[in-house]
């Protein structure tokens, strides 16, 4: 995917501004599993997803994780360049969930651009607002929804994302997505199994009764 295609305001930049972004952007491939960004400030960049899949998550001091959102083709990852905004006071980690190809635009290049160009600044506004909305959705899930619904929704979503009913996921990995200890996941999966909704084997969850899982989500 061309660099220009990521920026809906590309035509509103001056030729000099366009040139600056083009010459400083670099391409990078990341293997599935790579932690691309760990909250540090060195080599911070805006990440543009050409293909693949990223996961943004937070980490507690005790090493517990929770997935905030996923990024797909055409998405822009802002928090790896959070130094472009002084008021960002939290750390998000970013990991490749599939083999991923990225454009990297150095944070300082974009920072200069958004100080000169209102469309470039408003674009970041929209990206930030979209991520904020995803996190608010998650917060409402955590606050108001019980864990059985959240787990059922997660399994159906993963199944849609991977295009299969057989999910290669350990209970620990599911816990890291949902922010719950492994034991809680295991207990609920066994309940789902008893109810005939899933089948469990080592490192695998197979969806058996999608309709029942969907009913649970709507409850």
**What are the residues binding a copy of itself (CB under 8 A)?**
58, 60-62, 64, 66, 85-90, 114-118, 120-122, 124-133, 135-140, 142-144, 179
Residues 6+ apart with CB under 8 A from 139: none
Q: How far is the CB of 203 from a copy of itself (least distance, A)?
A: 25
* Closer to a copy of itself by Cβ: residue 14 or 164: 14
* Closer to a copy of itself by Cβ: residue 26 or 118: 118
Q: How far is the CB of 117 from a copy of itself (least distance, A)?
A: 6
Residue 193 has which token pair? 């199994």
CA–CA gap between residue 216 and residue 113 (Å, rounded): 47
Question: In this structure, are residues 203 and 213 in contact, taking their beta carbons and an 8 Å threshold?
Answer: no
* Closer to a copy of itself by Cβ: residue 93 or 205: 93
Q: How far is the CB of 59 from a copy of itself (least distance, A)?
A: 10
CA–CA gap between residue 76 and residue 103 (Å, rounded): 10
The H or E element spanning position 44 is none
* Closer to a copy of itself by Cβ: residue 121 or 208: 121
Q: How far is the CB of 154 from a copy of itself (least distance, A)?
A: 16
Residue 134 has which token pair? 């995803």
Q: How far is the CB of 23 from a copy of itself (least distance, A)?
A: 22
* Closer to a copy of itself by Cβ: residue 41 or 143: 143
């Amino acid at each position: 995917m061309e660099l220009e295609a990521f920026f809906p305001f590309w035509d509103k930049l001056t030729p000099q501004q366009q040139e600056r972004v083009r010459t400083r952007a670099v391409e990078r491939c990341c293997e599935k599993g790579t932690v691309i960004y760990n909250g540090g400030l060195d080599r911070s960049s805006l990440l543009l997803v050409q293909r693949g899949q990223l996961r943004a998550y937070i980490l507690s001091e005790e090493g517990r994780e929770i997935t905030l959102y996923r990024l797909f083709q055409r998405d822009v990852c802002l928090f790896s360049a959070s130094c472009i905004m002084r008021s960002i006071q939290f750390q998000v980690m970013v990991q490749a969930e599939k083999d991923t190809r990225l454009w990297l635009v150095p944070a300082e290049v974009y920072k200069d651009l958004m100080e000169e160009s209102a469309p470039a600044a408003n674009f970041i506004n929209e990206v930030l607002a979209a991520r904020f909305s995803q996190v608010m959705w998650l917060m409402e899930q955590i606050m108001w929804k019980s864990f059985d619904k959240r787990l059922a929704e997660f399994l159906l979503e993963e199944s849609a994302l991977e295009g299969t009913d057989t999910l290669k996921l350990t209970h620990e990995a599911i816990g890291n997505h949902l922010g719950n200890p492994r034991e809680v996941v295991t207990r609920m999966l066994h309940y789902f199994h008893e109810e005939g909704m899933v089948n469990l084997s080592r490192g695998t969850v197979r969806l058996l009764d999608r309709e029942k899982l969907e009913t649970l989500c709507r409850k």
